[in-house]
Amino acid sequence: MWPLIKILPAMTNFRFVAFAKYAGVASVVAALASIFLALYPLTPPCGGLNCGIDFKGGTLLEISTAPRAVDLSRVRSELGALELGDVQVQAFGAPSSALVRFQTPEGESSEQAIEEVKAALNSALGEVVFAKTEVVGPKVSGELFQNGLLALGFAIALMLIYIWFRFELQFGIGAVVGLLHDVVLTFGLIALLDLEFSLTSIAAILTIIGYSMNDTVVVFDRLRENLRKFKRMPLAEVIDLTINETLSRTIITGLTTILALGALAIFGGPTLFGFSIIMIFGVVIGTYSSIYVAAPIILLWGVKRGEEEAEPLPVRT
């Protein structure tokens, strides 16, 4: 029984490619649903995503009334009376803490708006500690949003170039389709769970891109080696063999990463919770896409197999 690695079969023989068609359909459906969730309703700049102030501009206050619990409905009604734009109040971590977000009304400075809110909350709830204050102006939020999207685009482009350079164009395309799949599905998850979309989410997605690429590269590396080793084996079988050979590594690395991220989600406090959830999802989806998106794309596209094509057919006599 111990070590665990001994009970994992030395060589698995799953026919992954045989299920690629169904997986492909599932992926396309999931991706389309994600795009819909992330974009609908088509309101700029964030659509269906719950944009934080990083990208929308406005003010965020983290309030604490410890040891008493925060009366959220009281906070809502008090702030509603101030006629601020788009007020959001949500519980955050301990019951004595809450997050308040609002937009600065037209023609008022953010300082004035914050002073008003602080005065209103102090008089309504008694002693309130303002643990965190974040203000993002409209100019900066626009820039952060643009930079965030640019960063995602550049990351994917850079990965394509790297894989193209290290492998072949087909591998690069397979890897990039896999990445797009992961990124789109992650956006879908963020929209579905109504997680805050912020700079930290962009960092999480970029890390997912790194991880998913890491996973794909390991599979591709072995695939390339096997393509050289088994020149006459049909491509589908080489892919199956490769995925089976790398399977135990995929599982062990995925498990350790998820275990570590799980600790972060449970004990890391409310700020890192959303981040950890996005990352755990990304690890799962990145592992899936290495097996069912990146590799089958190569199958779809075909690949040059060294001298195999130049090899003369056996002459019948």
Partner 1 sequence: MMTLSRWKIIAVVLAVIFGVLFSLPNLLPQQTLASMPGFFPRQQLNLGLDLQGGSHLLLEVDTEALRAERLVNTLEDTRVTLNGEGIAFTELRQLNGEITLRVTDPARRDDAARVLRTSLGTALAGTPGGRDITVRNDGPSGIRIAFVQEAMNAEAAKAVEQSIEIIRRRIDELGTREPTIIRQGVDRIVVQAPGESDPERLKNVIGQTAKLTFQMVDESADMAAAAEGRAPPGSEVLPSEDGMSPFIVVRRRALVSGEMLTDASQGFDSQTGEAVVNFRFNSIGARRFGEATAQNIGQRFAIVLDGKVISAPVIRGAITGGSGQISGSFTPQTANDLAVLLRAGALPAPLTVEEQRTVGAELGADAVRAGQISTTIGFITILVFMVFAYGGLFGGISVIALLVNALMIIAIMSVTQATLTLPGIAGLILTLAVAVDANVLIYERMRDEIRAGRNAIAAMDAGFSKAMSSIIDANVTTILAALIMFQFGSGPVRGFAWTLSIGVLTSVFTAVLVTQVLLALWFRAKRPKTLPIV
135-154 residues in contact with partner 1 (CB under 8 A) are 135-137, 139-140, 144, 147-148, 150-151, 154
Nearer to partner 1, 48 or 196 (CB): 196
CB 59 within 8 A of CB 110: yes
For residue 274, which amino acid is it?
A: G
Return all residues near 66 (Cβ < 8 A) that are at least 6 apart: 94, 96, 97, 129
Nearer to partner 1, 48 or 110 (CB): 110
Question: Is position 279 an interface residue for partner 1 (rule: CB under 8 A)?
Answer: yes
Closest by alpha carbon to 239, among 293, 284, 287?
293
> Rounded to the nearest whole angstrom, what is the least distance from the CB of residue 71 to partner 1 in the complex?
21
Question: Is position 206 an interface residue for partner 1 (rule: CB under 8 A)?
Answer: yes
Cβ count near 247 (within 10 Å): 18
Site string for partner 1, 49-88 (x = CB under 8 A): -------------x--------------------------
Task: Give the whole-angstrom CA distance, residue 196 versus residue 54.
Answer: 10
Among 211, 281, 288, 292, binds partner 1 (CB under 8 A): 211
Nearer to partner 1, 76 or 118 (CB): 118
Task: Give the whole-angstrom CA distance, residue 240 versus residue 299.
Answer: 11
Among 40, 259, 308, 311, binds partner 1 (CB under 8 A): 259
Question: Is position 162 an interface residue for partner 1 (rule: CB under 8 A)?
Answer: yes
Strand 50-51 relative to strand 196-197, pairing: parallel
Task: Give the whole-angstrom CA distance, residue 231 versus residue 308.
Answer: 6
Question: Is position 155 an interface residue for partner 1 (rule: CB under 8 A)?
Answer: yes
Nearer to partner 1, 69 or 131 (CB): 131
